[in-house]
Amino acid sequence: MGEVALGEPVPTDLVAALAAESRPGTAERPWVFTNMITSLDGSVAVDGLSSGLGGPADLALLIALRRTASALLVGSRTAASEGYQPPDADPAVQEARLAAGLPARLAVAIVSARLSIGPDAPIFSDPTYRPIVLTARNAPTDKKRRLDDVADIVEVGNRQVDLPKAITALGRKGHHLVLAEGGPTLNGQLVAEDLIDEWNMSMSPMLVAGDASRAARTTDEPATPPRAMELERLWHSEGFLFGRWLRSRD
């Protein structure tokens, strides 16, 4: 992995800095990398929203990470509660993405076993753009019909979304770089399935307490064995820390 960059200021050109980092995704096994933010005491939200923890540097990193990704993986609850919007349609952004070998617009893939997200959600508001909905075969048929007008539905798994198959399905659609933005339940499932290659974590200089969730959680037993990660770089800006940890595919 080379020399670790510890405690350096956030680069001025974040997109270029992130594009220079190795992410060897393939059609058979896309590279799965996260982007999450927590408070110093581990909370992922303030008043139920992650935006309460962020700042300008965190927002800039979020945008830059999305511009290096082919697809964005997000749980339906997070997509609805955080008000996810259709990806940037700016011609300059699209041109830069195409030059980097990425689709012109980021593909948003929403994980929803029971199709709890409705077609009136903001992510479906652009008639020229169709998100991907990853769902289970046993999901309610009426909800599938309603979403079929605004999204491309991919069935992976019977009662639950089979995440390994979901990642494979995205790879077969040409998405080799999959950015996972949670929420915590989706992250926990990715950890349990050992699908995470890169963990990006922003640490906000706040103490929140309360009962907000951690960055990854499951209702089952913890991952066994724990997934060991290696710190690859650490940036800072205005009291925020931005870390990148990698897991060997070996």
Judge whether residue 5 has pLDDT over 90. no
User: Is the model's pLDDT at 112 over the cut of 90?
Assistant: yes
Asked whether the predicted pLDDT for residue 77 surpasses 60, the reply is yes
Residue 114 falls inside a structural domain: yes
Query: Would you say residue 249 has pLDDT above 60?
Result: no
Phi, psi torsion values for 239, nearest 5 degrees: 90, -10
- Closest Cα partner for 226 from 245, 203, 202, 201? 245
Mean pLDDT for the chain? 92
| 2 or 241, greater pLDDT | 241
Residue 230 belongs to a domain = yes
Domain annotation covers residue 101: yes
Peptide bond into 91 cis (omega under 30): no
Q: Do the domain assignments include residue 129? A: yes
Residue labelled with tokens 């339940």: 185
According to the model, what pLDDT value does residue 3 have?
A: 61
> Does a structural domain hold residue 92?
yes
Please state, in angstroms and rounded to a whole number, the distance separating the CA atoms of residues 67 and 85: 15
pLDDT one-digit tens code per residue, 25-56: 999 999 999 999 999 999 998 888 888 899 99
CATH of the domain at 206: 3.40.430.10
Specify the residue for token string 């680069």. 11
Over range 103-128, report the average pLDDT: 96
Distance in angstroms (rounded) separating the CA atoms of residues 127 and 151: 10
Counted domains in the chain: 1
pLDDT given at position 2? 55
pLDDT of residue 182: 87
pLDDT at position 48? 81
The per-residue pLDDT for 167 is 98
pLDDT at 223 over 70: no
Whether residue 220 is contained in a domain is answered as: yes
Q: Is the pLDDT of residue 57 over 70?
A: yes
What percent of the chain lies above the pLDDT cut of 90? 82
The range of the structural domain enclosing residue 89 comes to 32-246
Judged against a pLDDT cut of 70, whether residue 250 lies above it is answered with: no
> Exposed (0-12), middle (13-18) or buried (19+): which is 16, by Cβ within 10 Å?
exposed
The answer as to whether 149 is a domain residue is yes
| CA angle centred on 75, ends 180 and 128, rounded to 5° | 85
The residues, any chain, with a CB within 8 Å of residue 109's CB and separated by 6 or more, are 71, 72, 73, 74, 131, 132, 133, 134, 166, 170, 175, 178
* 105 inside domain: yes
* 188-216 tens-digit pLDDT: 999 999 999 999 999 999 999 888 788 89
Return the pLDDT at 6: 63
